[in-house]
């Protein structure tokens, strides 16, 4: 099974990371799935006094995270989150990785199990130019989806409505939504004007995170 690619970036070039950081409560416990080089967790530790841990598979990213002083566990996310207890964290993050997961429903259920709040970001396949590309006979290629059809790690692309339907099916209550086109936040007609979306949802278990 091909491991999802670890997305790298920083707080200045990734609008989803900036919004995610804004949604995380100071002093809380955070789990970052597919944490890449540890950028988000290091920022949360230094600016919001967050106690965090990351899960990452890529060797180089694990080393980079450790160098930042980030606690990281090397594991394939497709294997689940059995290492973690129910509601062990206040928030769990999955940024720009959901679309590359084989077991989408499973990872969302696991996120809801281990934390009170889940935050996910992913490319919005409903962006209007994607439809034009398909009408022209080509798969879309954008900044958030820079791959060709034959080498893409993205196997479960979806629109905003698709995700919201799945969240409803799984009992996940969406509390916040943010949409972006490059660095600009989109406030109107998000479903077809945005290339990247971020959702925050509440676990149906609604138990307080452990201290």
CATH assignment of the domain containing 163: 3.40.50.150
Judge whether 78 lies within some domain: yes
Judged against a pLDDT cut of 90, whether residue 47 lies above it is answered with: yes
Q: Which are the contacts of 180, defined by CB distance < 8 A and separation ≥ 6?
A: 15, 16, 19, 186, 194, 195, 196, 197, 198
- 63-91 pLDDT, tens digit per residue, is 999 999 999 999 999 888 999 999 999 99
Q: Per-residue pLDDT for 200 more than 80?
A: yes
49 found inside a domain: yes
pTM of the model: 0.86
In a domain, 2, yes or no: no
Domain extent at residue 130:
15-202
Give tens-digit pLDDT for 3-27: 444 445 667 678 999 999 999 999 9
Per-residue model confidence (pLDDT) at position 182: 85
- Domain for residue 65, yes or no? yes
- Show Cβ contacts of residue 162 under 8 Å, excluding neighbours closer than 6 positions: 125
């Amino acid at each position: 099974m091909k491991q999802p690619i670890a997305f790298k970036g920083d707080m200045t070039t990734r609008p989803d990371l900036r919004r995610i950081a804004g949604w995380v409560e100071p002093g809380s416990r955070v789990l970052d799935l597919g944490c890449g080089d540890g950028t988000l967790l290091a920022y949360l530790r230094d600016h919001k006094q967050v106690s965090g841990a990351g899960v990452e598979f890529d060797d180089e990213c694990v080393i980079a995270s450790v160098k930042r002083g980030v606690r990281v566990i090397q594991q394939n996310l497709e294997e689940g989150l059995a290492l973690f207890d129910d509601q062990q964290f206040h928030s769990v993050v999955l940024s720009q990785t959901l679309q590359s997961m084989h077991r989408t429903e499973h990872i969302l259920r696991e996120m809801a199990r281990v934390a009170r709040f889940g935050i996910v970001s992913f490319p919005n396949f409903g962006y209007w130019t994607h439809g034009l590309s398909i009408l022209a006979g080509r798969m879309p290629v954008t900044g958030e989806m820079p791959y060709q059809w034959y080498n893409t790690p993205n196997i479960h692309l979806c629109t905003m409505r698709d995700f919201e339907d799945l969240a409803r099916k799984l009992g996940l209550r969406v509390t916040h939504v943010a949409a972006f086109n490059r660095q600009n936040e989109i406030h109107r007609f998000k479903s077809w004007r945005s290339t990247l979306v971020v959702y925050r949802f509440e676990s149906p278990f609604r138990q307080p995170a452990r201290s």
